[in-house]
Amino acid sequence: MKKLKIACLLLTASMLGTGLAACTKEDGGVETSATTIPPTIATVATEDEEDLDYVYGEHFYSEVPVTYSMFFSDASWYAMKDTWLTEGVFKDIEDITNVHLDIISYDSNDYMNNITLDINAGNAAYIIPKIYDDSQFVDGGAIVPISQYVQYMPNFVDFYNTYNMQEDLLTITRNDGNYYKLPGMYDATMPDYSLLVRKDLFEAAGVDIEAIEKDYTWEDLCDALVKVKAYMVSQKMCSESDYIWSDLWCGNESGQGNGGNLLKLIGNTYDVNAGWAIGDGMRYSQENDAFYFSPVTENYKEFLKVAHKFVEAGILDPETFTQDDSTATNKFFNGQTAIISVNKSQYANFVSNLEENLGKGNFDVYYAVAPRGLNNYSPAGAGRLENGVMISQNALEELGEDEFIKMLRFVDWLFYSEEAYTLTKWGVEGKTYKVNDDGTKSLLPGYCCSGLGYASTSDSDIDIRLEWGYAGGNFWYGHTMALASDHFIPPVAAFVEHVSEYRDIVPLSPGLAPNEDQSEEMNLIATPLIDNVNTWTLSFVTGKEDIDAKWDEYVASCEDLNCQGLVDLYAEVYGK
């Protein structure tokens, strides 16, 4: 291996002050124990001439052309084109770094299934982005325990140390003391998914959404929507039998059989796991310093009742939980519904579609903070980590350690440097965007990008994401709030500001690191258990089953599937 030059070594007595253990090596050096993360990470630079100068703030460049394979999650709503490779984002990356990316692309709907097959078959690409849950890959030996190599990544190290990411990284650390994915890291929590409402219809019904959003509850929102529906019925915009809320990200296409985004939003405000956030149902209680199975709590019962209230009141279409996303968006764009889930990247696209269908000036929308439940927590949650990047063992074995470390320096530049973040998000300065006198960025005339909030103003406008692959989800996550928000249009910026002002951040839950046997046992219990929870939950929310009448039967079904065993396993792991 190359000779190593230690740039700095910061593992000090502060480890003891934070309760992190250390052990002494025979040579007198210090190493962290197998179950801790150091409060800071030392940066290590190699003496190889090619990358000696690659330090924090510099871009990576290989003196000789190299090729690294990379999986790619190809979103159907902005599918990859040849121009991305020949003149767009991948060409730019190669021009700057001398690295050619051999892209192995899969449709985003089947991305995880396909890459799992490839990884299990030993055919993993070197770089594996867009990973939310790495648990299924940890024990097979196909993925590098990347925490053993991050000291070679100066941008990662700088962010980790500057913004005190130690506790956050513990949440993804495994029993062997390693983490296996490089997460997107934020310096603060970033709100995103919430509700887009037809402000004009709310105001016509006598509801000032901006005035009530600071303190309103889900019940308050339901009452407001009853008024909105009454107005729409009076104007013959709908009938009494119609629903004025038909939501996306909840049904067959993206709801994952658990109620998707909407039940996640409501559930988080009731201190329970639901929808996209169901996981294994386990949640941490700060008050009791213990984990509990949230789907059998009284809070879960209250959550079910408030979600069902929207269906019972004739507001929320129960088909929300089975329909395709396009069904929901088409109804909203055509003016049939008055509210829909939205995230920051879709805001401009939704407005553009409303203009196309209803006509510019014939509507007004508002990006509202999600209501309160039993707490005042933001549905954004506590974590500052986002999906991340795994590195395959193939890269280490085929490149050798020296070239592997060189590749990691490229990965560090691509996913953690400000230069690469700006490139993959905005494109090339002077070609697609400009930096204004006040330091803000804006697209140049003739370009648009719905992902950045820039709607098309002319048929001749070029969408930089559709045409060249900028502002795509495989690269663009993490970094500071200032950098992550540099594209926010005023309505989105106002939403983020209001969430910060009106809602609290839920405390971060402690990380757990079960061993392989414990993980397997947890999965064996959780898989049928959560299937059962999801089936009952959707039946309760849509009104197929009566919550009060069937609650005890539902709880008993969870107990029969050993939910207590899951709680006991968590207690065992957490106790250690």
CATH, range 194-379:
3.40.190.10
Per the structure block, which two tokens stand in for 187? Answer: 């310096």
Compute the distance between CA of residue 367 and CA of residue 482 in angstroms, rounded to an integer: 20
Given this model, what pLDDT does residue 319 score? Answer: 97
9-19 pLDDT, tens digit each: 222 222 222 22
- CA 228, 230, 236, 237 dihedral sign is positive
Lowest mean pLDDT among 25-39, 139-153, 236-250, 357-371: 25-39
Given this model, what pLDDT does residue 457 score? Answer: 82
Please name the residues in contact with 483: beta carbons below 8 A apart, sequence gap of 6 or more.
418, 421, 422
Proportion of the chain above pLDDT 90, given as a percent: 73
Lowest mean pLDDT among 270-284, 369-383, 432-446: 369-383
When pLDDT is averaged across residues 500-507 and rounded to a whole number, the result is 89
Compute the distance between CA of residue 551 and CA of residue 549 in angstroms, rounded to an integer: 6
Given this model, what pLDDT does residue 59 score? Answer: 78
SS3 state at 348: helix
Given this model, what pLDDT does residue 568 score? Answer: 97
401-412 pLDDT, tens digit each: 999 999 999 999
Inform me whether the pLDDT recorded for 172 exceeds 80: yes
Q: How far apart are the first and last CA of the chain?
A: 37
Nearest to 229 by CA among 202, 208, 210, 200: 202
What does the longest C-alpha to C-alpha distance in the chain come to? 82
247-293 pLDDT, tens digit each: 999 998 888 899 999 999 999 999 999 999 999 999 999 899 999 99
Beta bridge partners of 66: 99
What does the chain come to in residues?
576
Residue ranges matching CATH 3.40.190.10 in the chain? 4-189+383-423, 194-379
45 pLDDT tier (thresholds 50, 70, 90):
low
Given this model, what pLDDT does residue 37 score? Answer: 65
Lowest mean pLDDT among 140-149, 168-177, 195-204, 271-280: 168-177
Nearest to 259 by CA among 270, 249, 272: 249
Per the structure block, which two tokens stand in for 423? Answer: 């490139």
Inform me whether the pLDDT recorded for 144 exceeds 50: yes
Identity (one letter) of the amino acid at 493?
A
Beta bridge partners of 103: 70
Please name the residues in contact with 547: beta carbons below 8 A apart, sequence gap of 6 or more.
301, 304, 305, 308, 540
Q: Please give the full DSSP string across 251-278, using - where no structure is assigned.
A: STTTSTTTTHHHHHHHHHTTT---GGG-
When pLDDT is averaged across residues 193-207 and rounded to a whole number, the result is 98
Distances (CA, A) of 470 to 79, 194, 466: 12, 24, 8
46-93 pLDDT, tens digit each: 555 444 456 666 779 999 999 999 999 998 889 999 999 999 999 999
Given this model, what pLDDT does residue 454 score? Answer: 84
Compute the distance between CA of residue 196 and CA of residue 408 in angstroms, rounded to an integer: 40
296-336 pLDDT, tens digit each: 999 999 999 999 999 999 999 999 999 999 999 999 999 99
Inform me whether the pLDDT recorded for 20 exceeds 80: no
Identity (one letter) of the amino acid at 287?
E
Given this model, what pLDDT does residue 338 score? Answer: 98
Task: For the domain made up of 4-189+383-423, give the CATH fold.
Answer: D-Maltodextrin-Binding Protein; domain 2 (3.40.190)
Inform me whether the pLDDT recorded for 117 exceeds 80: yes
Nearest-5° Cα angle at 78, 76 to 82: 100
Alpha-helical regions (H) of 313-416: 325-333, 347-358, 393-416
- CA 18, 21, 23, 29 dihedral sign is negative
When pLDDT is averaged across residues 136-156 and rounded to a whole number, the result is 93
Write the burial class of residue 417 (CB in 10 Å: 0-12 exposed, 13-18 middle, 19+ buried): buried
**Mean pLDDT (the chain, rounded):** 89
SS3 state at 512: coil
Compute the distance between CA of residue 438 and CA of residue 443 in angstroms, rounded to an integer: 15
Q: In this structure, are residues 262 and 341 in contact, taking their beta carbons and an 8 Å threshold?
A: yes
Q: What is the pTM of this model?
A: 0.77
Given this model, what pLDDT does residue 32 score? Answer: 35
Per the structure block, which two tokens stand in for 79? Answer: 């599918």
Inform me whether the pLDDT recorded for 381 exceeds 80: no
342 pLDDT tier (thresholds 50, 70, 90):
very high
More confident site: 508 or 263: 263
Inform me whether the pLDDT recorded for 6 exceeds 50: no
When pLDDT is averaged across residues 176-182 and rounded to a whole number, the result is 93
More confident site: 561 or 455: 561
Inform me whether the pLDDT recorded for 370 exceeds 60: yes
Given this model, what pLDDT does residue 495 score? Answer: 95
When pLDDT is averaged across residues 227-245 and rounded to a whole number, the result is 98
Q: In this structure, are residues 525 and 569 in contact, taking their beta carbons and an 8 Å threshold?
A: yes
Inform me whether the pLDDT recorded for 508 exceeds 50: yes
Q: In this structure, are residues 35 and 177 in contact, taking their beta carbons and an 8 Å threshold?
A: yes
Containing H/E element for 15?
helix 14-17
Write out 192-258 in H/E/C secondary structure.
CCEEEEEHHHHHHCCCCHHHHCCCCEHHHHHHHHHHHHHHHHHCCCCCCCCCCECCCCCCCCCCCCC
C-alpha R_g of the chain:
25
When pLDDT is averaged across residues 363-369 and rounded to a whole number, the result is 98
When pLDDT is averaged across residues 192-212 and rounded to a whole number, the result is 97
